[in-house]
Amino acid sequence: MVLLAFIICVLASIAITPLVKKFAVAIGAVDKPNYRKVHQRIMPRMGGLAIFISFLIGMVVLRPTAPFEQPLINPAIIMGSIVIILTGVLDDRFELSAKVKLAGQLLAALVVVVYGGVQINFVNLPFGGTIEFGYLSIPLTILWIVAITNAINLIDGLDGLAAGVSTIALLTISLMAFMKGDLYVMSIALIVAGSAIGFLKYNFHPAKIFMGDTGALFLGFIISVLSLLGFKNITVVSLIIPIIILGVPISDTIFAIIRRKLNNQPISAPDKSHLHHCLLRTGYTHKQTVFIIYAIAMMFGLAAIIFSMAKVWGAIILIGVITLAIELFVESIGLIGNDYKPLLNFVKGSTKKNL
């Protein structure tokens, strides 16, 4: 039944996207080229509406059963998704201010956290003991949802990039949920992944439609909620798993914040130095850049699966290796800045001394 729902979502998204494209053009929800954007012509956006409608169809077909202790999670996810979709639709049409968009994201997060009961209440430490979050559980959970929602939005800069990276994350979450016996999270993740895959038919380079904030915010919201449902309230190690799965958008967001701080710019200031921009500047084509980032996202997914099966010290070593690899990659492509190469300079200096 889950496989059938997945296939139905793929087909529904393929069928609905052209209709959404016409609707977006009719109401003026289009993306115009500017100095920050790669595309050179006016493009319809709001394509995420097709992903959302396909997701709703999948929910009707599959009717996944929420865990017994969280009977309100199904309506909470749908209600929160409606709030985030309305925020994205309005932004794609009228270009809302950052404060208004943030308000919509906070409202969607509140629906899931307060009404649905999704919260990070405590974490078991790897060497014994527990951290109880108490009153901080609600704000911490909301912070996670809003942060991941925006992280997905930030990587939506090339044809097929956000949809593809989100699909890889969703399939990884689904596989790990299956390994844990969590059929609920597995089912929801597959439904959304199928909806995104169908949309990719029109969004892959050269794109015929963009997902817009409608799609990026929705995918980020769903991924953030599913990662909480699948990996919360266990240990510090298992809480790191969704961070690894979302390694591409999270690391790009973190380094964007560092870059802007170093350049004395506001954190929300847009620029043209994100991961995909840097890869394009090194000489890769549009498609090559997207495939490279897909490959990186897959490696993060594989690392998350290995991490989940590792012992504590193995997990710590893996985190160290991932951190080192990220730093070397960031320095090599100039993600923070062309002059930021402390580790590479250290390696070069050590090599020269040995020679």
- The verdict on whether residue 213 carries a ligand-binding annotation is yes
- Say if residue 355 is exposed, middle or buried (CB neighbours under 10 Å; 0-12, 13-18, 19+): exposed
Contact criterion met (CB below 8 Å) for 104 and 83: yes
Contact criterion met (CB below 8 Å) for 166 and 152: yes
> Could you tell me which residues come within 8 angstroms of residue 17 by beta carbon, excluding any fewer than 6 positions away?
47, 50, 198, 199, 201, 202, 209
Structure tokens at 336: 């923070």
Structure tokens at 26: 């009719």
Structure tokens at 4: 């059938």
For the four alpha carbons of 202, 207, 208 and 211, in that order, the dihedral sign comes to: positive
CA distances from 178 to 66, 220, 230, 297, 338 (A): 15, 21, 10, 20, 42
Please count the residues of the chain.
355
Distance of CA 264 to the CA centre of its chain: 27
Structure tokens at 32: 């115009």
Instruction: Look up residue 289 and give its DSSP letter.
Output: H
Q: Is the preceding peptide bond at 342 cis, omega within 30 degrees of 0?
A: no
Please give the Cα distance from 249 to 165 (Å, whole number).
8
CA distances from 50 to 8, 46, 198 (A): 13, 8, 9
Tell me which residue of 47, 319, 62, 80 sits closest to 190, measured CA to CA.
62
Contact criterion met (CB below 8 Å) for 146 and 105: yes
Binding-site residue positions for Mg(2+): 153, 213
Binding-site residue positions: 153, 213
